Chains A and B, each alone.
Chain A
Amino acid sequence: MVHHSSARLDASFAALSDATRRGVLEQLGRADASITELAEKFHMTLTGMKKHVGVLERAGLVATEKVGRVRTCKLGPSRLSAETAWIEGYRQLWSSRFEELDKIIEELKRKENVR
Chain B
Amino acid sequence: MNARKDSEPNPTKNRTTVEPKSEREIVVRRTFDAPARIVFQAWTTPALFKRWWVPKSMPLALLSYEADIRTGGGYRLVFDVDGTKTMAFFGKYIEVTPHSRIVWTNDESGEDGAVTTVTLEEAGDKTLMVLHELYRSKEVRDAALASGAYDGMGETFEQLDEVLVTLRA
Chain A interface residues toward B at CB < 8 A: 1-4, 6, 9-10, 13, 16-17, 19, 78-80, 82-83, 85-87, 89-91, 93-98, 100-106, 108-109, 112
Indicate which residue in A83, A85, A87, A101 contacts B32 across the interface (CB closer than 8 Å). A101
B88 proximity list for chain A (CB < 8 A): none
A82-B148, A93-B164, A105-B39 known; A98+B30 contact, CB < 8 A? yes
Interface bracket on B: 35 or more
In addition to A80-B156, A90-B164, 11 A-B residue pairs with Cβ atoms within 8 Å of each other are A13-B20, A16-B19, A16-B20, A85-B156, A87-B18, A94-B131, A95-B15, A97-B55, A104-B42, A105-B33, A105-B34
Indicate if the CB atoms of B51 and A82 lie closer than 8 Å. Answer: no
Indicate which residue in A2, A17, A89, A112 contacts B20 across the interface (CB closer than 8 Å). A17
For residues 145 through 169 of chain B, which have their beta carbon under 8 Å from a beta carbon of chain A? 145-151, 153, 156, 160, 163-164, 167
Indicate if the CB atoms of B150 and A94 lie closer than 8 Å. Answer: no
- When A and B form their complex, which 7 residue pairs have the shortest distance between CB atoms, in order from nearest? A100-B52, A82-B149, A96-B55, A95-B16, A91-B18, A101-B52, A13-B20
B163 proximity list for chain A (CB < 8 A): 86, 89
- Within the complex, the shortest CB–CB distance from B35 to chain A, in Å, comes to 9
A95-B16, A98-B16 known; A108+B146 contact, CB < 8 A? no
Tell me if B28 counts as interface (CB < 8 A to partner A): yes
Alpha-carbon gap, A86 to B38, bound state (A): 31
- Within the complex, the shortest CB–CB distance from B165 to chain A, in Å, comes to 9
Indicate if the CB atoms of B55 and A109 lie closer than 8 Å. Answer: no
B42 proximity list for chain A (CB < 8 A): 101, 104-105, 108
Chain B interface residues toward A at CB < 8 A: 14-21, 23, 26, 28, 30, 32-34, 38-39, 41-42, 48, 51-53, 55-58, 131, 138, 142-151, 153, 156, 160, 163-164, 167
Indicate if the CB atoms of B149 and A104 lie closer than 8 Å. Answer: no
Alpha-carbon gap, A97 to B20, bound state (A): 19
- Within the complex, the shortest CB–CB distance from A2 to chain B, in Å, comes to 5
A112 proximity list for chain B (CB < 8 A): 38
Alpha-carbon gap, A87 to B28, bound state (A): 10
- Within the complex, the shortest CB–CB distance from B116 to chain A, in Å, comes to 12
B160 proximity list for chain A (CB < 8 A): 85-86, 89
10 A-B pairs within 8 Å (CB atoms) are namely: A9-B142, A85-B156, A86-B144, A91-B18, A94-B28, A96-B56, A100-B51, A104-B42, A105-B34, A109-B34
